[in-house]
């Protein structure tokens, strides 16, 4: 057959195939010759069990979404705000308190430092916001610190940022959900003994909602976020107003928490500052999440970022101010500072309960920001080959399921290990985020110097300033928090980086091993073939392998390794009589091992035939149940292991299972 006739025949054949399923509009849409598009029906499982599971999955997570629906799943600004900034806003509920907790060690006199520290923190926040607004414009397809540092500074800075950020998101989930449940038992002490199960359950709920896809998360989580915003802003407004009118709210009946006494000094101030800075984690989620916004993506993201920062600054300063005037402080009862302020402003009535409940809501939702960004960062890393590919796949609901599930699992492990004690986790916190900030902004400086677009000097100046300030924060963190537990981050991040480099190396090896040279035309098989069946017994599985072999060569060689020559004689009799076209070779193995003698036989009989390709067919009985596997031999697996990748040998597994009705 000439080449052109062959091609023609090929097209005809393709056409025939494709025409076949025109009547079956049930499963496929015909697009072009050789191109079909699967309908939703083609995805559905066909077994009753599979269908039942699919129904359950859809009830929990919704119907599958097609790729085209991705645009519909984008977030409008009012939904993006709860999804991406709940982390930042929720920190109002614990950042001030964390600073006070540290200051309490040197006595209530040190509380005077709270306001200056708060102003410093808000200053850093303003700089970071400014920087990220520039990044978002420069990287309209997503400008998280991994992308920016990787693109401008190189692989290692990129991975440091990524590892720091991933670590941080895990901690955020653990800390914020724990804090949320703490808010709950401020109001309902009955919850205290079952705190850990409640925390774990809450993480699972947030996970489940995120598996429904990002847009639905926005819808579901919008209400609690806006209720918290409303009740917190109302409280702050009323409190400030009363203070201005000379009737400052006063917290009563609080016994200060017992805190080990410390000496006042710079280190304490640095620690209090670092505690407060934990408010800023989650700021970068918007930059990573630009592609999740409705178009024009980058403009909407910038606006959302600005709103978020203004809200955070206002609420953080307001809380610190009211804590200062009302005398709220970390209580031995575990009642949070925010709850104390709320009680002093609202009195212990329904508004106070609403504040408590919505605080709990927003704290649990703070985890939402991590759930929105961790899977996205992981998917970018997986796309670049630094994490297992599974992280890059979108599930039925277009969510990055692997990332969501891994994030939930690891943070649950943390919560259980630390028994939900928030303060124990906070020292581990935020240092990663500020490392990522620094690297990202340093990368932006490099970016501006390379691009030199309009106004690049101004942009470079602000990013440079941001990088410098956040670097200082990192140093402060390292000094203030190292011994308290932040050293763990210095252990985890290098381990994560090593793992990521290892994964990258393995994928690169695989790609090299599997790459087909471009342009190389692969010739049809021309070398003489010898077909060998590894036959442990005369079974249907072996018969199937022999029949497959006979489609490749006019006769096949059935090699039977046995410890018992009589049995071997019977075997070869049966094969010769019952399967024409076979040559049986019996290899007696008096030492009872089966794999090595088979391999040696192949090698030996290959010698002197350098032109020949040996095709080894390995029949493989497939049991119906996984637990049946221990009942069967691993010999087929071991023969494959020994032969695959050898010169002039092609291995084919021929799995066999009884025909299903």
* 586 scored as a contact of a copy of itself (CB under 8 A): yes
* 650 scored as a contact of a copy of itself (CB under 8 A): yes
CA distances from 584 to 298, 568, 576, 578, 605 (A): 71, 10, 7, 12, 14
* CB neighbourhood size of 26 (10 A): 9
Choose which of 264, 456, 482, 656 interacts with a copy of itself (CB under 8 A): 656
Choose which of 20, 49, 71, 261 interacts with a copy of itself (CB under 8 A): 20
Least distance from a copy of itself to the Cβ atom of residue 477, Å = 34
Q: Which helix (H) or strand (E) holds 183?
A: helix 155-187
Total residues found in the chain within this entry: 661
Q: Between 276 and 395, whose beta carbon lies closer to a copy of itself?
A: 395
* 544 scored as a contact of a copy of itself (CB under 8 A): yes
Tokens of 149: 């540092």
* 307 scored as a contact of a copy of itself (CB under 8 A): no
Distance separating alpha carbons of residues 443 and 445, to the nearest angstrom: 5
Q: Between 291 and 388, whose beta carbon lies closer to a copy of itself?
A: 388
Least distance from a copy of itself to the Cβ atom of residue 298, Å = 24
Distance separating alpha carbons of residues 478 and 489, to the nearest angstrom: 10
* 494 scored as a contact of a copy of itself (CB under 8 A): no
Q: Between 20 and 261, whose beta carbon lies closer to a copy of itself?
A: 20
Q: Between 287 and 380, whose beta carbon lies closer to a copy of itself?
A: 380
* 508 scored as a contact of a copy of itself (CB under 8 A): no
Distance separating alpha carbons of residues 169 and 163, to the nearest angstrom: 10
Q: Between 310 and 537, whose beta carbon lies closer to a copy of itself?
A: 537
Q: Quick one: which of 4, 35, 6, 364 has its CA closest to 183?
A: 364
Per-residue DSSP letter, 484:
I
Distance separating alpha carbons of residues 284 and 87, to the nearest angstrom: 11
Choose which of 233, 543, 612, 638 interacts with a copy of itself (CB under 8 A): 543
Choose which of 510, 528, 567, 570 interacts with a copy of itself (CB under 8 A): 510
Least distance from a copy of itself to the Cβ atom of residue 604, Å = 4
Distance separating alpha carbons of residues 99 and 78, to the nearest angstrom: 31
* 495 scored as a contact of a copy of itself (CB under 8 A): no
Q: Between 73 and 653, whose beta carbon lies closer to a copy of itself?
A: 653
Distance separating alpha carbons of residues 161 and 444, to the nearest angstrom: 14
Choose which of 234, 291, 550, 612 interacts with a copy of itself (CB under 8 A): 550
Least distance from a copy of itself to the Cβ atom of residue 660, Å = 5
CB proximity list for 383: less than 8 A, separation 6 or greater: 392
| Strands 28-32, 35-38: pairing kind | antiparallel
Least distance from a copy of itself to the Cβ atom of residue 493, Å = 21
Choose which of 519, 566, 610, 611 interacts with a copy of itself (CB under 8 A): 519
Query: Which range, of 107-115, 259-267, 313-321, 642-650, touches a copy of itself by CB under 8 A?
Result: 642-650
Total of chain residues touching a copy of itself, rule CB under 8 A: 132
Least distance from a copy of itself to the Cβ atom of residue 589, Å = 5
CB 239 within 8 A of CB 326: yes
Q: Give the x-and-dash track for 376-405 against a copy of itself (CB under 8 A).
A: ------------xxx--xxxx---------
Per-residue DSSP letter, 288:
H
Least distance from a copy of itself to the Cβ atom of residue 136, Å = 26
CA distances from 421 to 181, 279, 417, 426, 480 (A): 11, 18, 10, 9, 20
* 498 scored as a contact of a copy of itself (CB under 8 A): no
Q: Could you give the 3-state DSSP secondary structure of residue 75?
A: strand
Tokens of 432: 């990663």
CB 470 within 8 A of CB 283: no
Q: Between 370 and 582, whose beta carbon lies closer to a copy of itself?
A: 582
Strands (E), 181-239: none
Question: Is the bond preceding 34 in cis, omega lying within 30 degrees of 0?
Answer: no
Residues in 54-73 at the binding interface with a copy of itself, rule: CB under 8 A:
64-68
Question: In this structure, is the dihedral angle defined by the CA atoms of residues 433, 437, 440 and 443, taken in order, positive or negative?
Answer: negative
* 557 scored as a contact of a copy of itself (CB under 8 A): yes
* 657 scored as a contact of a copy of itself (CB under 8 A): yes
Choose which of 192, 587, 612, 638 interacts with a copy of itself (CB under 8 A): 587
Q: Between 457 and 540, whose beta carbon lies closer to a copy of itself?
A: 540
Tokens of 20: 């076949």
* 501 scored as a contact of a copy of itself (CB under 8 A): no
Residues in 22-41 at the binding interface with a copy of itself, rule: CB under 8 A:
24, 27-28, 31, 34-38, 40-41
CB proximity list for 481: less than 8 A, separation 6 or greater: 271, 274, 427, 431
Q: Between 104 and 541, whose beta carbon lies closer to a copy of itself?
A: 541
CA distances from 577 to 118, 531, 555, 583 (A): 92, 19, 14, 11
Q: Between 611 and 659, whose beta carbon lies closer to a copy of itself?
A: 659
Q: Between 297 and 396, whose beta carbon lies closer to a copy of itself?
A: 396
* 551 scored as a contact of a copy of itself (CB under 8 A): yes
Q: Which helix (H) or strand (E) holds 470?
A: helix 456-481
* 112 scored as a contact of a copy of itself (CB under 8 A): no
Residues in 78-97 at the binding interface with a copy of itself, rule: CB under 8 A:
none
Q: Between 123 and 528, whose beta carbon lies closer to a copy of itself?
A: 528
Distance separating alpha carbons of residues 92 and 374, to the nearest angstrom: 22
* 43 scored as a contact of a copy of itself (CB under 8 A): yes
Distance separating alpha carbons of residues 344 and 85, to the nearest angstrom: 27
Tokens of 369: 């920001």
Residues in 591-630 at the binding interface with a copy of itself, rule: CB under 8 A:
591-593, 596-597, 600-601, 604-605, 607-609, 615, 620-623, 628, 630
Kindly report the backbone phi and psi dihedral angles of residue 373, in degrees, each rounded to the nearest multiple of 5, phi listed first: -100, -40
Q: Between 141 and 551, whose beta carbon lies closer to a copy of itself?
A: 551
Q: Could you give the 3-state DSSP secondary structure of residue 31?
A: strand
Q: Between 493 and 546, whose beta carbon lies closer to a copy of itself?
A: 546
Q: Between 54 and 259, whose beta carbon lies closer to a copy of itself?
A: 54
């Amino acid at each position: 057959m000439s080449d052109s006739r062959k091609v023609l025949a090929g097209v005809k054949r393709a056409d025939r195939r494709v025409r076949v399923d025109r009547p079956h509009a049930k499963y496929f849409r015909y697009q072009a010759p050789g191109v079909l598009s699967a309908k939703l029906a083609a995805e559905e499982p066909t077994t009753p069990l599979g269908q039942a599971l699919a129904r359950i999955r859809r009830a929990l997570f919704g119907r599958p979404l097609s790729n085209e629906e991705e645009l519909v799943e984008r977030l409008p600004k009012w939904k993006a705000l709860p999804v991406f900034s709940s982390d930042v806003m929720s920190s109002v509920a614990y950042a001030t308190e964390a600073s006070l907790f540290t200051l309490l060690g040197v006595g209530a006199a040190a509380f005077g430092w709270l306001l200056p520290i708060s102003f410093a923190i808000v200053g850093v926040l303003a700089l970071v916001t400014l920087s990220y607004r520039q990044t978002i414009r420069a990287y309209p397809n997503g400008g998280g610190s991994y992308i920016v540092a990787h693109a401008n500074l190189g692989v290692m800075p990129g991975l440091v940022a990524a590892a720091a950020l991933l670590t941080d998101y895990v901690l955020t989930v653990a800390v914020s959900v724990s804090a949320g449940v703490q808010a709950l038992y401020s109001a309902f002490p009955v919850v205290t003994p079952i705190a850990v199960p409640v925390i774990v359950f809450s993480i699972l709920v947030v996970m489940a909602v995120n598996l429904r896809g990002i847009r639905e998360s926005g819808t579901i989580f919008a209400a609690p976020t806006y209720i918290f915003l409303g009740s917190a802003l109302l409280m702050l407004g009323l409190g400030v107003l009363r203070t201005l009118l000379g009737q400052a709210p006063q917290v009563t009946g609080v016994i200060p928490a017992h805190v080990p006494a410390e000496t006042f000094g710079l280190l304490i101030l640095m620690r209090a500052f670092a505690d407060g800075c934990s408010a800023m984690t989650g700021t970068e989620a918007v930059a990573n999440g630009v592609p999740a916004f409705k178009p024009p993506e980058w403009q909407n993201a910038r606006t959302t970022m600005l709103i978020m920062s203004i809200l955070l600054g206002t609420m953080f300063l307001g809380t610190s101010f009211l804590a200062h005037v009302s005398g709220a402080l970390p209580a031995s009862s575990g009642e949070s500072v925010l709850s104390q302020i709320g009680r002093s402003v609202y009195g212990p009535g329904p508004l106070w309960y609403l504040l408590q409940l919505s605080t709990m809501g927003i704290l649990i939702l703070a985890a939402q920001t991590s759930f929105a960004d961790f899977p996205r960062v992981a998917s970018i890393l997986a796309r670049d080959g630094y994490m297992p590919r599974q992280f890059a796949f979108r599930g039925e609901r277009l969510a990055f399921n692997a990332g969501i599930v891994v994030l939930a699992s690891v943070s649950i492990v943390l919560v259980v290990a630390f028994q939900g004690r928030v303060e124990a986790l906070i020292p581990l916190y935020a240092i990663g985020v500020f490392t990522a900030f620094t690297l990202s902004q340093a990368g932006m400086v490099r970016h501006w110097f390379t691009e030199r677009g309009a106004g690049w000097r101004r942009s470079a100046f602000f990013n440079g300033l941001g990088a410098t300030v956040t670097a200082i924060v990192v140093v402060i963190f390292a000094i203030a928090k190292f011994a308290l537990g932040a050293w763990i981050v210095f252990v985890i991040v290098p381990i994560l980086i090593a793992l990521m480099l290892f994964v990258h190396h393995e994928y690169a090896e695989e790609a090299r091993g599997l790459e087909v040279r471009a342009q190389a035309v692969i010739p049809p098989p021309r070398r003489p073939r010898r077909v060998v069946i590894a036959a442990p017994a005369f079974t249907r599985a072996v018969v199937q392998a022999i029949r497959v072999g006979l489609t490749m060569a006019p006769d096949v060689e059935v090699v039977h390794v046995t410890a018992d020559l009589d049995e071997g004689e019977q075997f070869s009799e049966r094969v010769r009589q019952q399967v024409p076209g076979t040559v049986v070779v019996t290899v007696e193995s008096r030492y009872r091992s089966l794999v090595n003698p088979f391999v040696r036989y192949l090698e030996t009989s290959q010698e002197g035939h350098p032109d020949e390709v040996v095709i080894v067919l390995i029949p493989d009985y497939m049991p119906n149940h996984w637990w049946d596997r221990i009942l069967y031999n691993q010999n087929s697996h071991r023969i494959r292991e020994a032969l695959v990748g050898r010169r002039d040998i092609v291995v084919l597994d021929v799995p066999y299972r009884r025909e299903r009705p």
